Amino acid sequence: MPNHLQSIVQTLSLPFHGEHERFWAVFSHWCLPRYFKAWRALTGRDPQPRRAEGLARDPLMIYQMAKVGSRSVLFSLELAYRRHGLPNVPIYHVHNLANLDGHNRRANRRGNPEEIQVVQEYRRLREEFDRDPSRHWNVISLVRDPVARNVGAFFHKLDQYVPEWKKRWSEGALPMQEVIQLFIGASEIHQTANHWFDVEFKSVLGIDVYDAPFQTGTGYQLYANPPRVDLLLIRLEDLNRVAAPAIQGFLGFRDFKLYNTNVGDEKDYAEVYRAFKSTPLPLSYTESVYETRFAHHFYSDAELQAFTRKWTQPKARS
């Protein structure tokens, strides 16, 4: 089933699973831009903002490495601004703004039109960011348990790493140990978290997140490179708990609500994904990931030990 049809089916099924609020959030997110467009066509102007005093209106980037749960933040912020009648606040979702020539060469080598288009969009955004050094930007980023992030990145491109996985899975001919070995062998996935902040934030935003200890008990932290950038960095594991107060303090929303989207267990690889998560990973692999500077900066020793147990001990399949 094409992705857009799958999304429609999943949305229409939400009320039948008791998720009425999430259904109306998705419906409103879809309807409001069309309402604003119709209003402008009829009146020649935008609707008046509603209860929007104190809300930040500078351009906003959701700027982070892939597979850290940023789609939920993007969706929720777009909806929040639309509900307040501020559809024209620029909101961008981006994974890379550094080394775009290299990303463009890789995209062209793979011959993927969608990937090529994304790199061109990133290039335009980078040009806009660099054009006016006096313009202020708000940036929100996320981090995630690096093993979980690596697993998410692997499954996002499962067709690339495990060709014909759908056919093999349906025939019972896809051993999970083979999938795990292919996952561990995908070395480019496992290096991303170690270098991403140095490559992206230090060179583009002028912010080094490693300059000061991360407050693991708080779950989020503020950074700044005045007057250009203010940055809010949130751990995904704390997102449901801290999103509202963190974003209220950062952007001024008093009624912000987070809506979860883009859940791996709802995708076409859901069964393989669940089976993978139920199978222990080698301890040597998790130790190599959790010994990195990234892991020790954003997570306490106790949290890393808990992550290790989660990924290396047998689990019952749900």
* Number of compact structural domains in the chain: 2
User: Distance between the two ends of the chain, CA-based, in angstroms?
Assistant: 24
Query: Token pair of 211, please?
Result: 């300059």
pLDDT in tens, 241-272: 999 999 999 999 998 999 987 554 557 898 99
Average pLDDT of the segment spanning 143-147: 98
Residue 252 contacts residue 54 (beta carbons within 8 Å): yes
Cα atoms found within 13 Å of the Cα of residue 218, Cβ hemisphere only: 11
202-227: pLDDT as tens digits: 999 999 999 999 999 999 999 999 99
Domain shared by 144 and 259, yes or no: yes
Residues 85-122 pLDDT 10s: 999 999 999 999 999 999 889 888 888 888 899 999 99
Which two three-digit tokens encode residue 303? 């949290």
Percent of the chain with pLDDT over 90: 75
Amino acid identity of residue 308, one-letter, is T
198: confidence class by pLDDT, cuts 50, 70, 90: very high
Same domain for 80 and 112, yes or no, is yes
Q: Are residues 240 and 188 in the same domain?
A: yes
In sequence order, what E strands does the chain have? 60-63, 91-94, 137-143, 220-225, 229-235
3-state secondary structure (DSSP) of residue 218: coil
Say yes or no to pLDDT of 157 above 70: yes
Residues 53, 16 within the same domain: no
Name the residue type at position 21: E
Determine the structural domain holding residue 22 and report its residue range.
1-47
Residues 37 and 78 in one domain: no
Does 56 lie in the same domain as 24? no
Give domain status of residue 305, yes or no. yes
Provide the pLDDT for residue 1. Answer: 47
pLDDT(14) > 70 = no
**Mean pLDDT across 282-304:** 97
Nearest-angstrom CA–CA distance, 109 and 183: 22
DSSP assignments along 156-179, one per residue: HTHHHHSTTHHHHHHTT---HHHH
Residue 317 belongs to a domain: no
Partner residues linked to 223 by β-bridges: 231
Both 5 and 87 in one domain: the answer is no
Q: Is residue 39 domain-shared with residue 167, that is, in the same domain?
A: no
> The tokens 């749960």 sit on which residue?
69
In a domain, 217, yes or no: yes
318 part of a folded domain = no
pTM: 0.91
Contact call for residues 193 and 298 (beta carbons, < 8 A): no
The structure tokens 């996002």 sit at 156
67 and 153 housed in the same domain: yes
**168 shares a domain with 110:** yes
Is 115 in the same domain as 169? yes
Residues 83 and 221 in one domain: yes
Residue-level pLDDT at 264 = 46
